[in-house]
Amino acid sequence: FNANGSALLACTYYGSTAYDQFYFAGLDHADNVYLFGQTSAPSGVLISAAGYFQNTGGQLLTKLSNDLGTTLWSARTGATSGPGMGVPNISPTAFLVDYCDKIYISGWGSAVMGSLTTTGLPVSPDAYQGTTDGNDFYLAVYEMDMSGLSYATYFGGSQSLEHVDGGTSRFDRRGRVYGAVCAGCGNHDDFPSTPNAWSTTNNSFNCNLGVFKFDFDAPLVIADLAANAPLCANAPVQFSNQSHLGASWLWDFGDGNTSTEQAPAHVYALPGTYTVQLNAYNANACNAADSATLLVQVLPEAPVLLPLDDVFLCGPASSLLLTADAQGTADHWQWSSNAQFTDTLNASPADSTALLAPVLAGTYHVQATQNGGCPAIGTLTVIAELAQAAISPDVSMCADDTALVTLSGIDPGSTIAWAPASLIISGQGTAQIQVAPPTATYFVAQVEGPGGCTWQDSALVNVGLMSGNVVNATADPLLVLAGTTVQLGATPTTGVTYAWVPAEAVSNPSIAAPTAVVNATTTFLVTVSDGICTSTAAVTVTVHELVCGEPDIFVPDAFTPNGDGNNDVLFVRGRHIAGMHLQVFDRWGEVVFATEDQGTGWDGRYKDKAVDPAVYVYWLTVRCADGQDHFQKGNVTVIR
């Protein structure tokens, strides 16, 4: 067709009497037409002027003149043995004629969608993969005008049925093929992969996407270039040479200047659009030379941005104004918290200042431009030590005691010095010290933050006249019956105040020696203070639970009134007896002794005569101190 597609310039059929199908067409540097496809033609048909071919090959490669009037050569390739002889072996997926007129093909053969098979296809001695399971990709390179096989290899797993469902691959200008294929079919992990691949395993239950890039190392010189941003007038523009197999170079920068450096830097005097051309040369490459162009947009030069000074802040700060100056050469500003300028801190593009509120330490970046030109970029660092050191409130302590003084609100890495050092027991250089001053003393902390900020603060340690270990609490008695009044006492007894608890249980909680009626076991606490020193002591009064009866009330079952001073008198034994009535009877029921006084005992006499040794009966009625009544009777034996 002509250039605008309005006229047909040439056309032709090409093929045999059997099945023929072309998948790809390509051009060489002379615009000759190359075709790649499949054929089922009889043996020897469609072969002419080619040095490399298989008579029964199922793949067809043909070169036609640029007017489609002449077949310059035609060749068939395919299996040289096995079931693939005489039929198409692969479904073509990529085709290329390179700068040196070498011919590249790519395709797949698999029984997954018909009778295609890669079995028996020829491979070169240096093949990446020399064997096939019949279900693989096939990659090949042929010499100019099909004079020979330059390289051929299989590519695929040993189990999977690799294929492409209607997809294609692509060759780039350097003869590298890129494929996206159905791989690992049947839940296999056998598709070739490299160590740093995204995944070396097939995580699908059947096929998954296999992507590969295969380099045939074609001996081509290919020019390629790039320009590194920013591209600014009156500033060096660094060009990147990305050529392949280049040995020498010629750069044309589009402004009348050239260079033979490999990767030059060039200064454009004026902004504008320039076409840069790179010519790459290598006499040993089959194409010897190649060229590439790049359109570059050179922007107006950057404004003149005055240097920015770092900001050092000590102590609390609610806001900070960042300021930049380009001496009137900038009309657009952006302040940002990062070098990528993904956020904007200034209120408007015309404002060269940015207000930080709150103030955060860190590095801040500003860029300034004029008329959409190149940016001038500056940075400054805000060093903010906003913490304010503070000592705990004034503390009080007793004589001969110690106290803790604590510093808070400091940055990690700060240094601390306390004074007076001679009164510090421990903690010098830390945020908490233990001190033991003999009298009231101010302790001062000097703090220097990691950035150099300094603070000073102090706390007063008051010292009382009283020693905390002299406070004592007493109770008399300590063991009582319920309802007993006890006498409490606290020392010291002068120059101090008292506070007894439980306050409701004592007669006066504010004196040194109150009384208390105790109905249950109670711990009494007394807090004694001289106004500075405060100390607490405790005393516990235990209430004894009275058992009005045996064994707490006891009458002996025998005594020996023989005048030897041992066990001569029968007494009622027991504490807490408020009243009693004891009667002793002889065997005829006559009362031989009676008393209501616990201190009066029976001496074994009746009517001024010693009674006979015998067993006597006693009755005892008791009223205990807590009001309980008790009666018991028993026998007592008089022994002489």
Domain range for 251 is 225-298
Percent of the chain surpassing pLDDT 70: 100
pLDDT at 409 over 90: no
- The verdict on 59 and 130 lying in the same domain is yes
What pLDDT score does 454 carry? Answer: 87
pTM, two decimals, is 0.52
pLDDT digits (tens, 9 = 90+) for 167-217: 678 998 788 999 999 999 999 999 999 999 999 999 999 999 999 999 998
129-163 pLDDT, tens per residue?
999 999 999 999 999 999 999 999 999 999 999 99
Calpha distance 366→305 (Å, rounded): 10
Tens of pLDDT, residue by residue over 525-540, are: 999 999 889 899 999 9
Where is the domain boundary, 345, 362, 385? 385
Q: Are 26 and 168 within one domain?
A: yes
Beta bridge partners of 37: 22, 60
Looking at the domain assignment, is residue 11 inside a domain? no
The last residue of a domain, from among 435, 467, 499: 467
Contacts of 26 (CB under 8 A, 6+ apart): 33, 34, 36, 95, 96, 97
Please report the pLDDT score of residue 166 as a whole number.
65
For residue range 493-528, what is the model confidence (pLDDT) as tens digits? 888 999 999 999 999 999 999 999 999 999 999 999
pLDDT for residue 286 is more than 90: no
**In-domain check, residue 46:** yes
Query: What CATH number is attached to the domain comprising 402?
Result: 2.60.40.1080
Question: pLDDT, tens digit, for every residue of 31-79?
Answer: 999 999 999 999 999 999 999 999 999 999 999 999 999 999 999 999 9
Contact status, residue 110 vs residue 133, Cβ threshold 8 Å: no
Percentage of residues in the chain with pLDDT exceeding 90? 81
Number of domain units in the chain: 6
Q: Rounded to an integer, what distance in angstroms lies between the CA atom of residue 237 and that of residue 374?
A: 12
Tell me, yes or no, whether 202 and 87 share the same domain.
yes
| Lowest model confidence (mean pLDDT) among 64-78, 396-410, 424-438 | 396-410
Residue 339 lies in a domain: yes
Domain-located, residue 128: yes
Which two structure tokens, joined as six digits, stand for 400? 């001969």
Is the pLDDT score of 452 beyond 90?
no
In a domain, 15, yes or no: no
Please check whether residues 232 and 334 belong to one and the same domain.
no
| Residue 362 sits in the same domain as residue 403 | no
pLDDT of 470: 84
What's the pLDDT at 167? 66
* DSSP character string of 509-527: TTSSS-EEEESS-EEEEEE
Is 303 domain-assigned?
Answer: no
3-class secondary structure, 593: strand
CA–CA gap between residue 620 and residue 218 (Å, rounded): 131
Span 537-546, average pLDDT: 90
Give CA–CA dist 141/127, Å, rounded.
11
Supply the CATH number for residue 236's domain. Answer: 2.60.40.10
Reported as a single tens digit per residue, the pLDDT across 459-483 is 999 998 888 778 999 999 999 888 8
- 42 shares its domain with 148: yes
Asked if residue 479 and residue 460 are part of one domain, the reply reads: no
**Residue 113 pLDDT > 90:** no
Query: What is the chain's mean pLDDT, rounded?
Result: 93
- pLDDT tens digits for range 16-37: 999 999 999 999 989 999 999 9
Residues 377 and 396 in one domain: no
Q: Residues 600, 560: contact at Cβ < 8 Å?
A: no
Own/partner long-range contacts of 279-282 (Cβ < 8 Å, ≥24 apart):
279/223, 279/249, 279/250, 279/251, 279/252, 280/221, 280/222, 280/223, 280/243, 280/245, 280/246, 280/248, 280/249, 281/221, 281/246, 281/247, 281/248, 281/249, 281/250, 282/221, 282/245, 282/246, 282/247, 282/248
409 & 458 share domain: yes
559-599 per-position pLDDT tens digit:
999 999 999 999 999 988 999 999 999 999 999 999 999 99
3-class secondary-structure state, position 421: helix
Domain boundary among 196, 215, 234: 215
